Amino acid sequence: MDLGMWIFWGAIVTLLAGCYIVDFLTGGKYSLKAQEKSLNRNSRVADSLRQVGRNDHQKGPF
C-alpha cells in the first residue's frame, strides 16, 4: 500500500510541476482571452443547436 501511495502522489506532483513549468516557459501564451472564450462558447452553442436539429429530424412520427 505504501508503494501505491508514493506512485499516486508522485504522479500528481509531477503533473502539477510539469504544467507549471510549461506555463512558465511559454509565458502564459496558452491562456484564453475573453474574446477567445466567447468565440469558443458561441461555436459550442451553434454546434449544440445543430446536433439538436439533426436528432429532431432523425426521429419519425412514432
Using one digit for the tens of pLDDT, what is the confidence trace for 13-33? Answer: 999 999 899 888 887 676 656
CA pair distance 42, 53, nearest whole angstrom:
17
**Dihedral over Cα of 14, 15, 18, 19: its sign:** negative
Instruction: Flag whether pLDDT at 44 surpasses 70.
Output: yes
pTM for this predicted structure: 0.43
CA pair distance 62, 58, nearest whole angstrom:
11
Domain ranges in the chain? 1-30, 32-62
The pLDDT confidence band at residue 11, using thresholds 50, 70 and 90, is very high
Task: Cell 468565440: give the residue.
Answer: 39
Amino acid residing at 55: N
Residue 11 backbone dihedrals phi, psi, to 5 degrees: -65, -40
